[in-house]
Amino acid sequence: MTSRERFVRVLTGQPVDRVPFMKVFGGTNAVLPDWERAHPGLGQSIDAILQFEGRYRGWDTTRVNADLSCAHTWEVVAEDAETRTLRRPDGMVKLFVKSADYHHQTIEFPVRCRADWERIKARWLDPDGPGRFPADWAAQVALYRGRDFPLQLTHRGVYGFPRVLMGDEALAYAFYDDPALVHDIMDTYTDFALRLWAKMTREVDFDLIECWEDMASKNGSMISPAMFREFMKPNYEKIRAFANANGIPIVLVDSDGNIMELAELMLEAGVNAMYPFEALAGNDVDLIRDRLPGLGIIGGLRKEAMAESPAAVSAELAKAERWIRRGRFIPGPDHFVQSHTRWEQYRAFMEGLRQVVLRTPADLSSQAVAGQ
């Protein structure tokens, strides 16, 4: 089987020879430059050395811009030895710390009132605008048609998109003070994405739609179940309907934090896979599997163990084996590798995980659940 076939079959509960061995989250944040200095050329060869299957995280993205058309246009407004401050045409200002695990923060958000949103919506959210598709899109289409790796359509998040524009605090107030604005941002962006995807699916078959949310802390979801159902669920139902109409088997949500309660809501709305299930946030993969047998799970392995001890690594690998056997699970680190983790430690962890993947059959007792 190809990694594409394994990815889809595992997450949807179909028979499979084994789970795919995928990077999920690797040393691609602040860690990789340090590793590169100690091991020149590692950045270009790390995937081959560790024998990761698939591309990017294991499933790949296209270079079609599913964000604001100005999303990747930045100018430097200030810089010193430790930081760099950048401004985007829509008004977003970010401060980047040059050496840190989680190395940037937004210090000015572009949407502070409805007029800001109307300006942004009119100017930078046209699915037919220039620059949406890469210049070599035709060549990319030819590659994608013959691929053996999973490929996603990208959604910037029903919650995630307004969060980036407004910030969590302003968005939290807006749910109460200006719910019509929140509805408009969420609905408009999803409708934009659907129109963009319609153009893409005319030429390429996709395996999943990934929605970036990051809408939870260690205390759980940023919004209540009632608000999820009012504001977010209708958009997820549109996403699921599009997936079904276009033969796309997986709707995958990326959210950090404790997503135990959120997972139930997402499954109810048409999502059938989530990641990364951060361990220290309180996620319990066994409990999720007991409660939600139809949910695909990716990640779940405590990244901190890499730099702790062989015993800590062994404990995580034992979890991986148990969860693989329970079905609908692809193992991987539960987020980016931390900066104090050495390349040798990461390599030992991932090579151990590869051996677990190669020898462990997925339990077929939790195969396809009706409607999921």
Which CATH number belongs to the domain containing residue 325 in this structure? 3.20.20.210
Residue 83 lies inside a defined structural domain of this protein = no
b/e per residue 81-107 (b: at least 16 CB within 10 A):
eeebbbbbbbbbbbebeeeeeeeeebe
Number of residues written out for the chain = 372
pLDDT above 90: residue 279:
yes
pTM, to two decimals: 0.93
CA distance linking residue 139 with residue 137, whole number of Å: 5
- Number of Cβ within 10 Å of residue 59's Cβ equals 26
pLDDT above 50: residue 266:
yes
Tell me the residue ranges of DSSP E strands in 197-320. Answer: 208-212, 216-217, 220-221, 250-254, 273-275, 296-301
User: What does the mean pLDDT of the chain come to?
Assistant: 94
Segment 20-32 shows an average pLDDT of 82
Residue 304 lies inside a defined structural domain of this protein = yes
Assign 370 a pLDDT band (cuts: 50, 70, 90). very low
Q: What is the pLDDT of residues 229-243, one digit of tens each?
A: 999 999 999 999 999
Q: What is the pLDDT of residues 303-343, one digit of tens each?
A: 999 999 999 999 999 999 999 999 999 999 999 998 889 99
DSSP string, 133-193: S-TTHHHHHHHHHT-SS-BEEEE--TTHHHHHHH-HHHHHHHHHH-HHHHHHHHHHHHHHH
CA distance linking residue 200 with residue 62, whole number of Å: 10
Q: Which residues form the domain of 172? A: 3-69+125-366
Contact between residue 318 and residue 311 where contact means Cβ atoms under 8 Å apart: no
* pLDDT at residue 104, as a whole number: 82
34 vs 311, higher pLDDT:
311
CA 65 to chain centre: 16
Distant-in-sequence, close-in-space partners of 152: CB < 8 Å, separation ≥ 6:
59, 60, 61, 62, 206, 207, 208, 209, 210, 252
Q: What is the pLDDT of residues 69-96, one digit of tens each?
A: 999 999 999 999 889 999 999 999 999 9
Segment 338-364 shows an average pLDDT of 92
CA distance linking residue 115 with residue 134, whole number of Å: 31
**Per the structure, how many domains does the chain have?**
1
pLDDT above 80: residue 29:
no
Residue 356 lies inside a defined structural domain of this protein = yes
Q: What is the pLDDT of residues 145-168, one digit of tens each?
A: 999 999 999 999 999 999 999 999
Residue 8 lies inside a defined structural domain of this protein = yes
Copy the structure tokens of residue 144. Answer: 């994608």
Residue 287 lies inside a defined structural domain of this protein = yes
Residue 117 lies inside a defined structural domain of this protein = no
**What percent of the chain is predicted at pLDDT more than 70?**
96
Residue 84 lies inside a defined structural domain of this protein = no
Assign 372 a pLDDT band (cuts: 50, 70, 90). very low
Copy the structure tokens of residue 292. Answer: 């939600």
* pLDDT at residue 367, as a whole number: 46
Residue 74 lies inside a defined structural domain of this protein = no
